[in-house]
Structure 1
Amino acid sequence: MNHTDNSELAIGIENGSDIFEDDNHASELFDNSEESDGEADNQPDSQLDPQFLAQRKITKQRDTQKQKEAGKHKKRVHDVATTVDLPHSSSAISRSITEFTKFMMGCSSRNFQLPSPPAENEVQIWQDWIVERKDVIQKHLDAYIERKQPQTKAEKNFLVNQELTRIKRAILTTVYHPAATVKNSSFSLAIKIACDEEFKTSGFSRITFDWDKPNLDNSKWNGATATILASHWMKWRATSRSLLDDSPVNPVKIIERWLSTARKEIKRKETKKKGNKTPGDPSSLSAIKAKHKSHRKKVSEYRFKTALAVFPDNPEVSALFQNLDTVSDYEDNKDFRLPPVRINPTWRSTVFANLAHELDRATIQLAPQKSKSAISGHLARDQSRNATEDEAELEKVPPKMPIDAYSGDYLGQLSVLERDQMGIKDDISQYSLTSALADISKKTKPVNSMVE
């Protein structure tokens, strides 16, 4: 993909011998020989048979089409290979990578302000700087080899690599503006200095992204930036005493996924800012939050009352739904005729979510006939989506719930002290949520259902 090429543009020159990965590449810079084309290609077209010209054109078109199809297939295979196994966005390793990205941009709090995208002149200076530095280095190497007069190809390549290692940081500098250092971060100042230094020696003016181009294939700047950040996160992971597991991960792809989330969040804030004109405006942010809270409170009351009726011998189940924060938030559907879209909380386990939804079904089934339509409309959801990283940070996680109410990813992010503070016990209760879900499912499914 292009972001791999971008990394070569950004750091290939800086990394000395990377410019000459093999002997053939090194010799290209000092050998101007050209291979001869076929005899037919060397003849003027006017001297060739028209039928031959027509056939050659058709053949070239077929070859071009085959190359395009092969390229598309290669890209599809590459995309599948690099995206299907990405860890969940709320997993510890994904959050670590995105937190490192924010750390390097100086984003210090939940309500952080993302840096502005690179201006056109910043991108142009960066691109020109790469070409200019390549030219300076090449001229220096030409003079150096001329002075040394190596006798063999191997000797010449050795001298080139040796000289590149010596001068890789000595030629050309750029005006670089590092972001402010985030205090109380798990990332050290040393890793920030090293990362900033690579951005500086790669010609960048600062660390930021073109937020309108989350796909790294569409922005050389974004691709190179993500690659450098991923490289230094990997170095931090390898040398730090992190609790993260050592499973393989593609940090560049995780950064790319976060860029899509960041772009959506920027657009959402812009839309709400435009609509938040007056305190009384029904489209204002405060009014929307109040509306959602009232709606979720009603859902919580429905579930609590239904749980009392369905689980009379297990009041601990109904007690779970007294907390408003157990109810997922939602966003209004773009089509006002459809129910809202559920936003799945990152902390909530699948079994707890399924239990809540079965209680909704039971609520509708137990409702008086005259109220069924209204209650059904209140509980209906068109579809669901996972919470974004920014939404996850703002979630209020209810404490003192059974351990099986929390997702494994969320529990994995908590220390022993944090679990104790939240009142989370390690043991699953005698009447587990899985048992509760199985019992209520038997009551809500049709009597003649064949599903066990």
Structure 2
Amino acid sequence: QSGPAGIGEHKFARISGNFFIRDAASDIFCCHAPVFSHEKPAPNPPHLPHHCSALSRSIVHFCKFIMGGTGFSFQLPRAPTPEEVKAWKTWVAERQATIEAYLKEHTSNEGETANMAELSESRRKRIHKAAQPEEPSFEPSLFSPEADIAMFFKTRCDDEFRSKGFPRVTFNWKLPSLRRSKWNAATADILADQWKFWYERHHLFSAREAPNIDVKAVIGRWIKYISKNPSKNCAQKDEDAGAKSEAAAARLTKRNTVAQLRLEALEVFSPRKPCTALTQMICAEAISDYEDDSDDPSGPPTRVIPFWRSERLTSLMHILDLASFQQAAPIRKKQLAALLVRKASRDANEDETAVQQVPHDLPQEAYNHQFLSDLAPLERHHLGVYMRPTHEATISEALDAFRELTEILPSSRAMCASDDTLSRKRRKTFAPIDV
């Protein structure tokens, strides 16, 4: 080809990304850097999504499905016995030895490389198939009648576990680590690959590209959580459905009461600036749910913070509780303490997030950024998310105002102490007045 302007009679060619310019007289190539680079940038490393994001919940949901359960009805399958782990490790070692012997025998005669990584995909598959030891007996989990995933994907996943020497699909729950347990690591690898296969064919609900996430890390995080909190994720077989419904109704009644108290507390701030948007945020659906302590049912419950709710709105809810208590008459404070006091707080888990009712028609600042990032523009429109009018009070403004109203400053404590002293002196000096 003719060279660019200014090169004259020189010829140039691109070899391995560089320009090699040839002088017509000497026929010598000189290396020059390319004018334009068409190399693709290095891909971003996979990230770990929030544990309650739509993708994390999808991965956990798929893992539960493969192990025979869904949602709150999921029960931990039996951990592998020492005999099962030993048999699986023996099977893997035999398979590896067979593959190495097969490679040594065939590559020496055929002139191929003995490195599996350098062989073609089709060649590796043929070697794996030829070197496959006898598969152990496999115990598939039951197909859950509540499942919303086709049986085809479970059968495909079970076949993959069977072909890798596993007797069944489970984790070592007593050692919930992917680094310290080879069984767990291999199980997570298979589940991650099978989830990707299912997701690519199932995510009709999203027009987004395939996510660049660390699926195996999501599974590792989940088995750590569920191993420590089995009671929150395993359904009680003897619990009646009617009892569950009654308990949920009782909690909703309390949440309605708490919402009304917070609305009354907000009236202290409303004369300063319009609070229509803030009032909409304080509804029963926006109030944290709670769970009783199984070890001490008579003690304060634990607050369960909804995933969809922003941190600022959560802070406002809690400071409104304080304002409600401070405004209450002394005779009512004990009743409010029993209603509002919580032992601790925790974030909602994957199952709780999946069934939580997200309130519609709230300003954008009421919703968690992570929650909104899972929604397409059409889904946000259907939810009724809107931008708060500029003349309306913001959550931050209400927070600052109530912090000033509820905080007891050191100077205020000194003033209160002097007022109490003066009141005691007056009670000694003046006789009570009959009315």
TM over 0.5: yes
Within the candidate set 246, 249, 253, 2:217 is matched to: 253
| TM alignment of 1:328-339, pairs within 5 A | 328-333=288-293, 334=295, 339=300
Within the candidate set 335, 351, 367, 1:374 is matched to: 335
> Which sections of structure 1, spanning at least 5 residues, go unmatched?
1-81
Deviation at 1:407, TM superposition (A): 0.7
Shift in alpha-carbon separation, 1:267–1:218, aligned structure 2, 3 A: farther
Q: For the Cα contact (< 8 Å) 2:277–2:388, is it kept in 1?
A: no
User: Counterpart amino acid of 1:222?
Assistant: N
Deviation at 1:385, TM superposition (A): 0.9
Partner residue, 1:168: 128
| TM alignment of 1:151-230, pairs within 5 A | 166-170=126-130, 171-172=132-133, 174=135, 198-217=160-179, 219-230=181-192
Deviation at 1:234, TM superposition (A): 6.0
User: Counterpart amino acid of 1:320?
Assistant: Q
User: Counterpart amino acid of 2:218?
Assistant: I
TM-score normalised by the chain length of structure 2? 0.65
Shift in alpha-carbon separation, 1:172–1:439, aligned structure 2, 3 A: same
Shift in alpha-carbon separation, 1:293–1:272, aligned structure 2, 3 A: farther
TM-score normalised by the chain length of structure 1? 0.63
User: Counterpart amino acid of 1:370?
Assistant: I
Q: For the Cα contact (< 8 Å) 1:92–1:409, is it kept in 2?
A: no
Deviations 1:111-164 (A, max 9, x none): 553573355365454333213323433444454467x297xxx96669995875
State the SS of the aligned residue for 1:384.
strand
State the SS of the aligned residue for 1:225.
helix
Deviations 1:430-451 (A, max 9, x none): 322223223333322336689x
| TM alignment of 1:40-439, pairs within 5 A | 86-102=48-64, 104-105=66-67, 107=69, 110-114=71-75, 116-117=77-78, 120=81, 122-144=84-106, 148=109, 166-170=126-130, 171-172=132-133, 174=135, 198-217=160-179, 219-231=181-193, 233=195, 249-263=213-227, 266-268=230-232, 272-273=236-237, 276=239, 285-286=244-245, 288-312=247-271, 314-317=274-277, 319-320=279-280, 323-333=283-293, 334=295, 339-422=300-383, 424-430=384-390, 431=392, 432-439=394-401
Distance in structure 1 (CA, Å) of the matches to 2:193 and 2:163:
15
Deviation at 1:270, TM superposition (A): 5.6
Deviation at 1:105, TM superposition (A): 4.5
Partner residue, 1:43: none
Deviation at 1:400, TM superposition (A): 1.7
Shift in alpha-carbon separation, 1:248–1:117, aligned structure 2, 3 A: same
Work out which of the two has the higher radius of gyration on C-alpha atoms and give 1 or 2: 2
Deviations 1:404-445 (A, max 9, x none): 1111111222233333333x2332233222232233333223
> Which sections of structure 2, spanning at least 5 residues, go unmatched?
1-44, 413-435
Deviation at 1:356, TM superposition (A): 0.9
Q: Give me the CA root mean square deviation.
A: 4.3
Q: For the Cα contact (< 8 Å) 1:403–1:425, is it kept in 2?
A: yes
Deviation at 1:229, TM superposition (A): 2.5
Q: For the Cα contact (< 8 Å) 2:305–2:346, is it kept in 1?
A: yes
Deviation at 1:192, TM superposition (A): 7.3
Shift in alpha-carbon separation, 1:328–1:370, aligned structure 2, 3 A: same
Distance in structure 1 (CA, Å) of the matches to 2:58 and 2:117:
41
Partner residue, 1:44: none
State the SS of the aligned residue for 1:371.
helix
Partner residue, 1:78: none
Deviation at 1:236, TM superposition (A): 7.6
Q: How many residues align?
A: 355
Distance in structure 1 (CA, Å) of the matches to 2:80 and 2:399:
54
User: Counterpart amino acid of 2:260?
Assistant: E
